[in-house]
Structure 1
Amino acid sequence: MPITVHAALIETLKRHFALRNSRLETLAVLIVALVQGRTVNLSHVASHFPGAAQHGSNYRRLQRFFQSIRLDQAVVAQLVVRMLNLSRPKYLALDRTNWKVGCKDINILMLAIVTRRFRVPLLWTVIDRQGNSNTGQRIELMRRYLSLFGAASIELLLADREFIGADWVKFLMENKVPFAIRVKQGQCVALADGRLWTIKSLLRRRRKSRSLTTFQASLPDASTVLSFAVKWIDGRKGQQGEWLIVMTNSPDAKAAISAYKNRWAVECLFADAKTRGFNMEDTRMTAPDKIDTLTTVLAIAVTWTYRCATQTMGMKAIKRKVHGRREKSWFRTGLDALRAWITFAPQHAIRAWQNQCPKRLKNL
């Protein structure tokens, strides 16, 4: 690991995290090792420390770091927004990722920014059990976001069928958070005449075409009238299609269902964090506090990766292949560039990191 890159990270990180020099050095090693080694396994990360210390000593140093250090998510969220110039209203995607370490479940509820180019973690909650998040956890996560950036910074909050419930929707409405949430066909709604119907019953006689239709209804336990947009999605070869049903408080329900396709970017983010990028599932840690710290390091590494992609591509677009898809993702473009720069052109890696890294942070 070039010492110049190492020193540049320490110089900027010490402005935002109250850590002593040895802890800052460990944090810098973690970030660079995550990029170069594409793994979060501490045994592999330990080989990236500069100096002549034994591998076992470096490994124990990493273990002590995760035992005692908790990095402030609010600081990292503001760094992400400032470094990627994402202060304008943007799409947020709320989703959950989980995997197993032995018989222990790792379960992370994540709020991410998704744009045409970027998909980056912003705030998250590590759930200490398997299964879906509850309403309280979702509300607490959104409150943290709103305290930092405010509802005006959200163009639309996108979420899948897991994130439904009268109390959750009421919270979003009271805080003026625009949303587009997919719902199941079995969702019960109340029409203007007060009768309760399942959406599946309302769609029973509707032709399965690609035409988009909308209707207004409210959830059974809430009086607020919401818009529902419905569209038939054809299945792939050999598979059946299904109804795409999106619930929104946006005045333009058709635009909301069109914007909902951006939610898929958070699934791509999870793939970037796992097998297509940093292999987060390689960790053997299971304690929620340690997973929280590891996710913070991941968010910083993802941000640096996208800064490199921006420096590499500028305003250009990634070429498309014959089948219409891009040659590679924006994330992969930045990751390939950053890995090469750290080894062969450290000044480029440093410039990508330092150009937009603020000297001090304030609530946006």
Structure 2
Amino acid sequence: MDSTEWKIGQYPLHVLVLAANVKGIAVPVYFRIYTHKGVLSEKERIGFIRKSLSVIDLRDKLLIADREFIGKDWFDFLSKNRIDFLIRLRKGIYQQWVDLECKQYEKLQKRALKKAYAQAQFTLEKQPYRLEVYRNENQSEKEPLVYLLTNRLKEKRTGKQYGKRWKIEYCFKHLNEYCFKHLKTNGFNLQQVAFQDTNKIRLLISFVIVAYILAIEQGILQEKQNPVRHIRFANGKKYRSVSIFRDGLQKLKEKLTYLVDFRTYLFKLTPKETTILKIV
């Protein structure tokens, strides 16, 4: 779960998105847009999750989010709806509750710096949580430690899954960098269009997300048929030379030269005819 700030013309907006991790790729399943400035309130976030529950069953799933998604009512709502979460905290947040029960917040930090990990359980508004503290592997001087809060208590070191959250940002990086590039500047000049209708913006983003998902699907299929080469870096890790999204998008461009090609492609994805496909 993440929010990103976009600007179309002079119209700033926030996009709050819930994405599912599919084979290591973040696939958006629900989103809403907000036009006010500043972070979203707990009430807005709770309303967002309530509506998303009609799209996807989040019970016993792990919701991963960043530091802006905090609050006692928010945590309580997620726990009572059987939604496990892993949320990053700022240093010192809820320290008083940790110290009240464990009296070891400072000890946690020292232990994490020395051994790379430390944890403590505490209760907030009658709900049990675990604070996990990790040594920052990025060697950041400003943030030598990463603080994570979770209500998934049976699993050890839930915080190791926090890295998956970045895939959501990566999704919107792709949407901005590739899908919107031509719409913004190369002829359409979308940035100069003064949108005032939220529904139009929502529809536009929906189309772009559909394009992103189609590219991801094509990229996954292409990976099975003709895998791209991987590059090994100095740290020993290997990465794709071309992302699944970019590979899939290129193949879509090659396949879908004309509108009729796109229509045929959609029919293959959804064999049952629908009114929308008939119109296309």
Structure 1 equivalent of residue 247 of structure 2 = 333
2:11 counterpart of 1:104: yes
8 Å Cα contact 1:188/1:196 also seen in 2? no
2:132 counterpart of 1:232: no
8 Å Cα contact 1:123/1:141 also seen in 2? no
TM-score, structure 2 as length reference: 0.80
Map 1:136-147 to 2 at 5 A. 136-147=43-54
Q: For residues 225 and 337 of structure 1, do their structure 2 counterparts lie closer, same or farther at Cα, with a shift above 3 Å needed?
A: same
Map 1:89-100 to 2 at 5 A. 94-100=1-7
Q: For residues 189 and 360 of structure 1, do their structure 2 counterparts lie closer, same or farther at Cα, with a shift above 3 Å needed?
A: farther
Structure 2 equivalent of residue 274 of structure 1 = 176
Structure 2 equivalent of residue 123 of structure 1 = 30
Question: 1:312-350 CA deviation, whole Å, 9 max, x = no partner?
Answer: 222775431132221111111111110111128976x66
8 Å Cα contact 2:121/2:129 also seen in 1? yes
Q: Given the alignment, which residue of 201, 212, 219 partners 2:117? A: 212
Deviates more, 1:334-343 or 1:294-303: 294-303
2:42 counterpart of 1:135: yes
Whole-angstrom CA distance in 1 between matches of 2:232 and 2:99: 52
Question: What RMSD, in angstroms, separates the aligned Cα atoms of the two structures?
Answer: 3.1
2:73 counterpart of 1:167: yes
Deviation at 1:271, TM superposition (A): 0.4
Deviation at 1:268, TM superposition (A): 0.2
Deviation at 1:309, TM superposition (A): 1.5
Deviation at 1:356, TM superposition (A): 3.9
Structure 2 equivalent of residue 34 of structure 1 = none
Whole-angstrom CA distance in 2 between matches of 1:340 and 1:276: 16
Structure 2 equivalent of residue 343 of structure 1 = 257
Whole-angstrom CA distance in 1 between matches of 2:226 and 2:152: 32
2:213 counterpart of 1:303: yes
Whole-angstrom CA distance in 2 between matches of 1:341 and 1:210: 52
Whole-angstrom CA distance in 2 between matches of 1:98 and 1:294: 15
Structure 2 equivalent of residue 354 of structure 1 = 267
The amino acid across from 1:339 in the alignment is K
Map 1:1-364 to 2 at 5 A. 94-101=1-8, 103-152=10-59, 155-189=61-95, 191=97, 194=100, 199=105, 201-206=106-111, 208-209=113-114, 211-219=116-124, 222-235=125-138, 240-279=142-181, 282-283=190-191, 284=193, 285-314=195-224, 318-323=228-233, 324-343=238-257, 353-357=266-270, 359=272
Deviation at 1:213, TM superposition (A): 1.8
Q: For residues 211 and 252 of structure 1, do their structure 2 counterparts lie closer, same or farther at Cα, with a shift above 3 Å needed?
A: farther
Relative contact order higher in (CA < 8 Å, ≥ 6 apart): 1
Deviation at 1:358, TM superposition (A): 6.7
Whole-angstrom CA distance in 1 between matches of 2:148 and 2:32: 25
8 Å Cα contact 1:189/1:217 also seen in 2? no
Whole-angstrom CA distance in 1 between matches of 2:132 and 2:226: 35
Deviation at 1:353, TM superposition (A): 3.5
Q: For residues 307 and 340 of structure 1, do their structure 2 counterparts lie closer, same or farther at Cα, with a shift above 3 Å needed?
A: same
8 Å Cα contact 1:304/1:353 also seen in 2? no
The amino acid across from 1:170 in the alignment is D
Q: For residues 197 and 102 of structure 1, do their structure 2 counterparts lie closer, same or farther at Cα, with a shift above 3 Å needed?
A: farther
Deviation at 1:137, TM superposition (A): 1.5
The amino acid across from 2:201 in the alignment is I
TM-score, structure 1 as length reference: 0.63
8 Å Cα contact 2:175/2:209 also seen in 1? no
Q: Can you give the 5+ residue segments of structure 2 that lack an aligned partner in the other structure? A: 185-189, 275-280
SS of the equivalent of 2:64 reads: strand
Number of aligned residues: 262
Deviation at 1:99, TM superposition (A): 2.9
Q: For residues 158 and 204 of structure 1, do their structure 2 counterparts lie closer, same or farther at Cα, with a shift above 3 Å needed?
A: closer
SS of the equivalent of 2:61 reads: strand
Whole-angstrom CA distance in 2 between matches of 1:308 and 1:205: 47
Whole-angstrom CA distance in 1 between matches of 2:43 and 2:273: 32
8 Å Cα contact 1:232/1:241 also seen in 2? no
Q: For residues 346 and 168 of structure 1, do their structure 2 counterparts lie closer, same or farther at Cα, with a shift above 3 Å needed?
A: same
Q: Percent of pairs identical after alignment?
A: 24
